[in-house]
């Protein structure tokens, strides 16, 4: 990020931050899944995925709870490495 990006980028208003934090915490509250549970879920998921796709780097996997307009969802994002052939 350049100096000018920093200069002109407005800090997000706190209401927007409040909204995003609330959306996340409410999904956790409702599913009754603690951040530790979610981390454990991610570890187990990584082991399982690697059994089938060994090239996946467990550190790249992202698992998150999201609140969207009509539904709450558990989202797992697993980047795959392109085969170098």
Residues at the contact surface with other proteins, assessed by CB under 8 A? 13-16, 18-19, 21-23, 25-26, 29-30
Residue among 2 and 14 whose Cβ is closer to other proteins: 14
Burial tier of 55 (Cβ tally within 10 Å: 0-12, 13-18, 19+): exposed
Residue among 30 and 73 whose Cβ is closer to other proteins: 30
Please, what is the minimum distance in Å from the beta carbon of residue 25 to other proteins? 6
State how far the alpha carbon of 13 is from the alpha carbons of 7, 21, 48, 82, 85, in Å.
16, 13, 40, 39, 47
Please, what is the minimum distance in Å from the beta carbon of residue 6 to other proteins? 20
């Amino acid at each position: 990020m350049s100096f000018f990006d920093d200069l002109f980028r407005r800090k997000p208003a706190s209401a927007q931050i409040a909204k995003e934090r609330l959306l996340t915490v409410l999904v956790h509250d409702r599913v009754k899944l603690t951040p530790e549970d979610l981390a454990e879920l991610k570890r187990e998921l990584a082991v399982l995925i690697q059994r089938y796709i060994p090239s996946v780097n467990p550190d790249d996997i992202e698992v998150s709870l999201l609140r969207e307009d009509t539904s709450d969802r558990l989202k797992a994002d697993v980047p795959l490495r392109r085969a170098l052939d």
